[in-house]
Amino acid sequence: MSSTMNDHLERFSYDNIIVRNFIAATVIFGVIGMLVGLTIALQLVFPILNFADFATFGRLRPLHTNAVIFAFAGNGIFAGMYYSFQRLCKTRMYSDTLSKINFWGWQLIILSAVATLPLGITTSKEYAELEWPIDIAITLIWVVFGWNMFGTILKRREKHLYVAIWFYIATFVTVAVLHIVNSFEIPVSLFKSYSWYAGVQDALVQWWYGHNAVAFFLTTPFLGLMYYFVPKAANRPVYSYKLSIIHFWALIFIYIWAGPHHLLYTSLPDWAQSLGVVFSIMVLAPSWGGMLNGLLTLRGAWDKVREDPVLKFMVVAITAYGMVTFEGPMLSLKNVNAIAHFTDWVVAHVHMGGLGWNGFLLFGIFYYLIPKMYDTKLYSLKLANFHFWIGSMGILFYALPMYWAGFVQSAMWKEFTIDGVLAYPNFLETVTQLKYMYFLRAVGGLLYIIGTIVMAYNLIKTALAGKFIANEAAEAHALTQENSVHSGEHWHRWIERRPIQMLVFSLIVILIGGLVEMIPTFLVKSNIPTISSVKPYTPLELEGRDLYIREGCNNCHSQMVRPFRSEKVRYGEYSKAGEFVYDHPFLWGSKRTGPDLHRIGGKYPDSWHYNHMLDPELTSANSIMPAYAFLLENKLDISKTVNKISAMRTIGVPYPEGYEAMATNDLKKQADAIAANMLKDNIHVTSDKEIIALIAYLQRLGTDIKAKPDTLIQKEQ
Amino acid sequence: MSVIYILITISMLVAGSFLAAFFWAVKSGQYDDDQTPAIRILFEDKVKNENE
């Protein structure tokens, strides 16, 4: 910047209040989210801890994932961004009001998640469980965040956009797109909606979202934070700025195509799976570019790492990032995935990333920021070191037993005796085998939480000892405008002078409009069944399916028999794409804590399911599944059945025109038949209970392809 | 599987906008200097207290 042109310094101040608030929210929700995690970890060891219908594993697991991803990591990202953004742009945030709306809006969204998920109000799509009104709120708050961010960029005093800012921009853009596309759903009531997509399509969209949520919510913003805070804490420039530029652009271009690696060996077409694998392998290069750039920043500063807890946390975080981004591509190889998928290996993998990379980076940043913003020294180095060691131990105690559990479980699932039969035909054997490892994992989680609480104490003590600088004074030269714009000119004039850009922009606008119109019809058409015997669910089965979603059964049970000998012997015929065309949403699951359920239909009598829900130990000794006795008592709510049928027809399920009039009657008839059937086994249950609907759904699962032509005709009558 | 065309289109749009941003960054001289930006962020703009 030439000093002759613009000599005077502008004075302004940085907003530290918003940063402090986000840090407080991160720590509070972090501890809560981790405690929920500890609870569900213990529930797998002591099923008695599923103490209420709102506190079963199936309902709490989404609460844990949402809390740690969006409340802990999310608030942490905002804290780090709001701090570094102002310094990098040499300006206060564009609008304090927008900052406040961003903060309070985000906390309200988190509270609404706490209020809805335990009640079973969920879409069932992983990390996108929140129902449609909350989805809209998320979109609005995200727009506020983006508005504030771009406003700040526009009024910046530093022309060059530091690499961290690029990571923030990519985060904003991509998360917005992912969230909107994956949340396409048709509302049935205020708290219930169905995914617009069905079966394979829904799975593909979901994991395109799910994978990129990891990429653009837990990776790119954290890399941005790494590029700002690691050099600042070490007080030396990043190892290679050039590498950071290359690694940024390569990372965002490659990451977005890797989603299908979550669906290997499923009913997703093979070519789409292979495409996902190729990109997943490629993403290793930019990931390690970033990891090495972060670590090498500390070259010649390792003596500082020995003393400074901030750097210690950061080093472990970056190392964990390196391990996870090596493991991820390896897990995406089909032969490795065949072993790891559906097991605890994946749980270990994500916690290496969550606890190590995300958690430790945030802790390091907070130990750096709080003393700085309170103009004092950290209250206790000793406690920070304690946190570092107990946290590291926690990660190890968490991850190692889970890796072990993953290998053990997979090996047991696949083992055949020399006579060619399954060595462990009873799935439960492969579950009870893991109990001790599940317990050790809970110990690891507890250690990690203790560390986090110690940090909270240390930070509070630090804050109390210092004096908070709410508005940090700063000064910088004004940004000189090179291509002078006539003052008062309308912004649109810019584009008018550029016909090519004009063309491109209009094309994009048209494309978006066209897409919005075409997508619905396009998708509905493609839901035409490819297997003629696959029929829509009956009203009772549909209600039962919604109970399956409400209870979060998909958190522990998959509905996807992979084409392996071991799975065909254990469960039955492998799952085919055409079987899921009416599944809004898909319920393939991602983890088998319990057995796969796609071929459960007709496997056991109705009474077996009744007893199993009453108390799983009645049918399966030592089962760790929670009891669902309340399903036997609760009356099935059929007030929305008609709306559900209409909604399903809108999104392409071929219920006959006017079927709504008969739906309730059909539902009652089928329910009566099931109740009568159970009476034969001496079970007295009225046909208006929830359990009846759930049994109807479970008995239907995976049976359509077994239907013979003559039974089909009977069914239609 | 038709949804894959939509996903590819949207992914291309996102990638395309990133590409446009990349070209803008290069053209506008964001990357002309790959030394000082790394060092510049280390300087704190601490203001000497005159009248706070």
Contacts of A90 in chain B (CB under 8 A): 45
A236 vs A485, higher pLDDT: A236
Contacts of B32 in chain A (CB under 8 A): none
pLDDT at position A641: 95
In sequence order, the 6+-apart residues with CB closer than 8 A to the CB of A475 are A9, A10, A11, A12, B45, B47
pLDDT at position A503: 58
Tell me the angle at which helices A220-234 and A284-296 cross, rounded to the nearest 10 degrees.
20
Q: How confident is the model at residue B14 (pLDDT cuts 50, 70, 90)?
A: confident
Q: For the stretch B13-51, what's the b/e string if a residue is b when 16 or more beta carbons lie within 10 angstroms of its beta carbon?
A: ebbeebeebbeebeeeebbeeeeebbeebeeeeeeeeee
Q: A686: distance to nearest CA of chain B, Å? A: 42
pLDDT at position A510: 56
- Cβ separation of A181 and B33 shorter than 8 Å? no
Handedness of CA A450, A453, A455, A458 (dihedral sign): negative
Q: How confident is the model at residue A522 (pLDDT cuts 50, 70, 90)?
A: low
- Cβ separation of A204 and B1 shorter than 8 Å? yes
- Cβ separation of A257 and B34 shorter than 8 Å? no
In sequence order, the 6+-apart residues with CB closer than 8 A to the CB of A679 are none
- Cβ separation of B37 and A252 shorter than 8 Å? no
**Is B1 in CB contact (< 8 Å) with chain A?**
yes
| Average pLDDT of the residues in A473-490 | 67
In order of A251, A292, A477, the CA distances from A287 in angstroms are: 7, 9, 36
In sequence order, the 6+-apart residues with CB closer than 8 A to the CB of A186 are A193, A194, A196, A647, A650, A651
| Average pLDDT of the residues in A531-558 | 94
The answer to whether the beta carbons of residues A16 and A469 sit under 8 Å apart is: yes
pLDDT at position A512: 58
**Is B12 in CB contact (< 8 Å) with chain A?**
no
Alpha carbons A472 and A474: distance in angstroms, whole number: 6
**Is A522 in CB contact (< 8 Å) with chain B?**
yes
pLDDT at position A715: 44
**Maximal C-alpha separation, chain B:** 67
- Cβ separation of B34 and A242 shorter than 8 Å? yes
pLDDT at position A173: 87
Alpha carbons A547 and A561: distance in angstroms, whole number: 22
Contacts of B13 in chain A (CB under 8 A): 177, 508, 511
pLDDT at position B42: 87
pLDDT at position A525: 55
Tokens matching residue A263: 């669906």
* Region of residue A245 (left: phi > 0; alpha: psi -120 to 50; beta: else): alpha
**Is B22 in CB contact (< 8 Å) with chain A?**
yes
The answer to whether the beta carbons of residues B45 and A474 sit under 8 Å apart is: yes
Alpha carbons A20 and A18: distance in angstroms, whole number: 6
Instruction: Give the residue among A470, A426, A442, A416 at the shortest CA–CA distance from A20.
Output: A470
**Is A273 in CB contact (< 8 Å) with chain B?**
no
Pick from B11, B33, B42: CB nearest A256: B11
Kindly report, residue by residue over A44-54, the tens digit of the pLDDT. 999 999 999 99
**Is A519 in CB contact (< 8 Å) with chain B?**
yes
**Is A478 in CB contact (< 8 Å) with chain B?**
no
pLDDT at position A147: 92
In order of A53, A341, B19, B31, B40, the CA distances from B25 in angstroms are: 54, 41, 10, 7, 19
- Cβ separation of A205 and B2 shorter than 8 Å? no
Instruction: Give the residue among A244, A246, A249 at the shortest CA–CA distance from A226.
Output: A244
| Average pLDDT of the residues in A409-416 | 96
- The mean-pLDDT minimum among A136-150, A179-193, A293-307, A510-524 falls in A510-524
Q: B20: distance to nearest CA of chain A, Å? A: 11
Q: Is the pLDDT of residue A346 over 50?
A: yes
Portion 534-573 of A in contact with B at CB < 8 A: none
Portion 185-204 of A in contact with B at CB < 8 A: 197, 200-201, 204
In sequence order, the β-bridge partners of residue A134 are none
Instruction: Give the residue among A450, A523, A485, A432 at the shortest CA–CA distance from A185.
Output: A523
- The mean-pLDDT minimum among A88-102, A344-358, A513-527 falls in A513-527
Q: How confident is the model at residue A237 (pLDDT cuts 50, 70, 90)?
A: very high
> What is the phi/psi pair of residue A140, to 5°?
-60, -45
pLDDT at position A489: 55
pLDDT at position A300: 84
- Cβ separation of B1 and A174 shorter than 8 Å? no
Mean of per-residue pLDDT scores for chain A: 90
Contacts of B21 in chain A (CB under 8 A): 169
Residue A62: alpha-carbon gap to chain centroid: 9
Q: Is the pLDDT of residue A623 over 60?
A: yes
pLDDT at position A5: 47
Instruction: Give the residue among A314, A125, A301 at the shortest CA–CA distance from A201.
Output: A125
Alpha carbons A308 and A591: distance in angstroms, whole number: 39
Alpha carbons A330 and A338: distance in angstroms, whole number: 11
ipTM: 0.80
CA atoms within 13 A on the CB side of A166: 25
How many percent of chain A have pLDDT more than 90? 78
The DSSP symbol for A479 reads P
Q: How many CB atoms lie within 10 A of CB A531?
A: 15
Alpha carbons B47 and A14: distance in angstroms, whole number: 12
Q: How many CB atoms lie within 10 A of CB A305?
A: 16
The DSSP symbol for A577 reads G
AA letter at A224: G
- Cβ separation of B41 and A162 shorter than 8 Å? yes
| Average pLDDT of the residues in A513-519 | 55
pLDDT at position B5: 76
Residue A44: alpha-carbon gap to chain centroid: 21
- Cβ separation of A200 and B18 shorter than 8 Å? no
Tokens matching residue A501: 């850009």
Residue A432: alpha-carbon gap to chain centroid: 28
- The mean-pLDDT minimum among A38-52, A316-330, A475-489, A607-621 falls in A475-489
Pick from A90, A200, A228: CB nearest B1: A200
The answer to whether the beta carbons of residues A687 and A672 sit under 8 Å apart is: yes
Alpha carbons A34 and A395: distance in angstroms, whole number: 13
- The mean-pLDDT minimum among A130-134, A302-306, A415-419, A456-460 falls in A302-306
Pick from B10, B15, B52: CB nearest A181: B10
Kindly report, residue by residue over A434-448, the tens digit of the pLDDT. 999 999 999 999 999
**Is B11 in CB contact (< 8 Å) with chain A?**
yes
Instruction: Give the residue among A286, A162, A161 at the shortest CA–CA distance from A219.
Output: A286
**Is B47 in CB contact (< 8 Å) with chain A?**
yes
Alpha carbons A99 and A133: distance in angstroms, whole number: 22
Tokens matching residue A712: 């089909």
AA letter at A179: H
Alpha carbons A682 and A63: distance in angstroms, whole number: 39
**Is A488 in CB contact (< 8 Å) with chain B?**
no
A581 vs A76, higher pLDDT: A76
CA angle A344–A394–A209, rounded 5-degree value: 45
Tokens matching residue A97: 């009001």
Tokens matching residue A261: 């690696």
Residue of B nearest to A273 (CA): B4
Highest mean pLDDT pick, A2-6, A212-216, A290-294: A290-294
Contacts of B1 in chain A (CB under 8 A): 200-201, 204, 269, 272, 526, 577
Residue of B nearest to A476 (CA): B45
| Average pLDDT of the residues in A157-173 | 91
Kindly report, residue by residue over A625-657, the tens digit of the pLDDT. 999 999 999 999 999 999 999 999 998 899 999
In order of A247, A258, B12, the CA distances from A282 in angstroms are: 12, 9, 18
- The mean-pLDDT minimum among A241-255, A399-413, A537-551, A602-616 falls in A241-255
- Report pTM: 0.91
